[in-house]
A and B are shown apart, each in its own frame.
Chain A
Amino acid sequence: DAGITQSPRHKVTETGTPVTLRCHQTENHRYMYWYRQDPGHGLRLIHYSYGVKDTDKGEVSDGYSVSRSKTEDFLLTLESATSSQTSVYFCAISEEGATQYFGPGTRLLVL
Chain B
Amino acid sequence: AQTVTQSQPEMSVQEAETVTLSCTYDTSENNYYLFWYKQPPSRQMILVIRQEAYKQQNATENRFSVNFQKAAKSFSLKISDSQLGDTAMYFCAFMNTGNQFYFGTGTSLTVIP
Q: Do A and B come together as binding partners?
A: yes
Chain A nearest CB from B9 CB (Å) reads 8
Given contacts A88-B43, A97-B33, A100-B35, contact A50 B99 (CB under 8 A): yes
Number of interface residues of A (CB under 8 A): 24
Interface residues on B, range: 20 to 34
Q: Which residue of B lies closest to A104 (CB)?
A: B44
Q: A residues within 8 A CB of B97?
A: 97
Interface of A is mostly: strand
Q: Is B111 an interface residue (CB 8 A)?
A: no
Q: How many Cβ-Cβ contacts under 8 Å join chain A to chain B?
A: 47
Q: Is A84 an interface residue (CB 8 A)?
A: no
Q: A residues within 8 A CB of B104?
A: 42
Q: B50 near A43 (CB under 8 angstroms)?
A: no
Given contacts A42-B91, A100-B95, contact A48 B105 (CB under 8 A): no
Q: Mark A11-35, 1 if CB is under 8 A from B, else 0.
A: 0000000000000000000010101
User: Apart from A44-B103, A88-B43, A105-B44, what 15 extra A-B contacts exist at CB < 8 Å?
Assistant: A31-B99, A42-B103, A43-B103, A45-B100, A50-B99, A92-B101, A97-B95, A97-B97, A99-B35, A100-B95, A102-B37, A102-B44, A102-B45, A104-B43, A105-B43
